[in-house]
Amino acid sequence: MTASETRPPTTARTFPPGFLWGTATAAYQIEGAAREDGRTPSIWDTFSHTPGRVFEGHTGDVAVDHYHRFRDDVRTMSELGLGAYRFSVSWSRVQPTGRGPADRRGLDFYRRLVDELLGAGITPALTLYHWDLPQELEDAGGWPERATAERFAAYAGLVADALGDRVKHWITLNEPWCSAFLGYGSGVHAPGRTDPVDALRAAHHLNLGHGLAAGSLRAALPGDARLAVSLNLHEIRPLTPSAEDRDAARRIDAVGNRIWLGPMLEGAYPDDLLDDTAHLTDWAFVRDGDRAAIHQPLDLLAVNYYTPTVVSHVAPGHRKPQDDGHGDSAHSPWPGADEVAFHRAPGDRTAMGWPVDPSALYDLLTRTALRYPGLPLVVSENGAAYEDEIGPDGTVHDPERAAYVHAHLDAVHRAISAGADVRGYFLWSLLDNFEWSYGYAKRFGAVHVDYDTLERTPKSSAHWYATVARTGELRPPGERGAALRIQEAGPS
C-alpha cells in the first residue's frame, strides 16, 4: 500500500557492510577534447552538430573538460569520501574507426584515470558503451547491422586487455533501450533515425553485442572480475485496474524490459513481444545460436531508475497522451504499442518534468530480485535535475535534490530489508554536464559546473551524500525546506 505524504524525520538506516557508494558519468557528457589525441566523431558529435537536434545547438566538444581536469574531479570525489566511480569509455577515442587496433593515446587516458582513482582509494566501475557509437560504424549501418555487435565484442577485448589488471567492475552496455528506441525509433537521440523495424533490429544486435562482449571480457579478465549490464528497467503501472490498461502495461513491459531481460537472463525473447511486433517484422534477423550467445552469466544486474511509467489503453483512432518523459517526436519509441497512452504520475516533479516516486524504485528492486534470485543488484543511476544557482555566498543550496536522493536511498534500504540483494548505489551525476538533447539546460550534478569558467562547486546535496557514503548511515538531510511530498517507498 502506498500513500502520498510529507515524510517526517526518521531514525538512521544503516546499510550493509561493503555497500558500494559512488557517482556516475558518461564520456560524451563530460570529457570534451572531441578532436584531441586521435579521437574521431561519434554519433553524438554528428547529432549535436546537426541544427535543431540539441537545445540551442549545444555540443559536447568541450563539455566540462574532464579530459584535462580529471585529476581535480577525482580529488573532489576523494574529498567527498566516495568509494566508487562509474565512468564510460569513449569507443571512438580508443578505437577511432570502430575497427582494428586501439589508439594508445586513448587507452592511456583511461589508464591515467583509473590509476588516479585507485590512488585515491576509489573503486573504478567501467562502462564500455554509453551511446557514443563511432560515426564510421553508423555510416556502415549502425546497431541495426549485425557487424556492429561483432565490432563491439572486439572493442571490449581491447579495453579489457589494457585495463583488466586494474578494473574489477565491468558494464557492457548502458541503457540499450535508449540506444535502440530513442536512437532508431523516435529519433530524439543519436543517430536520429525513425524506423521501428530498425529499432527492433538494433535492440537485437545490442543484445548480441552484450553477449559477445561478455565472452570477450571473460576471456581477457581475471577470474575475480565482476560483469554486469546496466538497464533502465521501467516500473510500469496501469492507469486503472481495467483489463485493457493492464494489457497496455504488459505491452510496455515487453518492449521496455523483457526485450532485454528475456534473452540476457532467460535465453529467449518473450512470445508476447514477438506477437506484438509481428506486423512489423518476423524477427528473421535473430539467427541460430544468437540466443545462446546473448545468454551469458552475469555477476550483477545494474538498474537505472528515475521515475515510474504510467500507461493506459486507447482505442485506435483516438488521440492519446504521449507523456512518456522521453522527449517530443512524431515517431514512437514503443514499437508494437500503438494503442498505449502514457501519463505522468501525480505529485512533485523534477526539472525534467519527471514525477518523484521512490516507491517505484522499491517495487522495481523487490520484483526484480524475486524474479532473478541469486543475481545481486546495484543501482547504477539515480538522481534528479533541479534549477540550481550559486548563491551570494558562493554555495549551491539544493535541498530538493538532497530530499530526492534521501527518499530513494530509503527505498533502496527498504528493498534490502525486504530481501533484495542490492550491493551499491551510484548517484547520477558527479558533475553538471551535457544532458544529451537538452544540452546544458538540465543540471543533474552533485557538483555544480560554471559552464563559462568550468569552475566546480560541490552542492549542499553532495556534502550530505558524502556523509551518508562515509558512515553508511542514511539520515534526513536536515535542511529547511527539504521535505517533499513523496510516495511512501513500501512497507515500514
Catalytic residue positions, numbered: 175, 381
Residue-wise over 11-34: b if at least 16 C-beta within 10 A, else e?
eebebeeebbbbbbbbbbbbbbbb
Which strand (E) or helix (H) includes residue 176?
A: helix 176-177
Within 10 Å of residue 41's Cβ, how many Cβ atoms?
19
C-alpha 382 chain-centroid distance: 8
Place of cell 566516495: 82
Task: Provide DSSP, 324-393.
Answer: -SS---SS-S-TT-TTEEEEPPSS-B-TT--B--HHHHHHHHHHHHHHSTT--EEEEEE-------B-TT
Which residue in 13, 106, 39 sits closest to 425, CA to CA?
13
CA distances to 24, 141, 365, 424 from 10, in Å: 27, 53, 22, 22
Question: Are 187 and 53 in contact, with CB atoms under 8 Å apart?
Answer: no
Question: Are 213 and 227 in contact, with CB atoms under 8 Å apart?
Answer: no
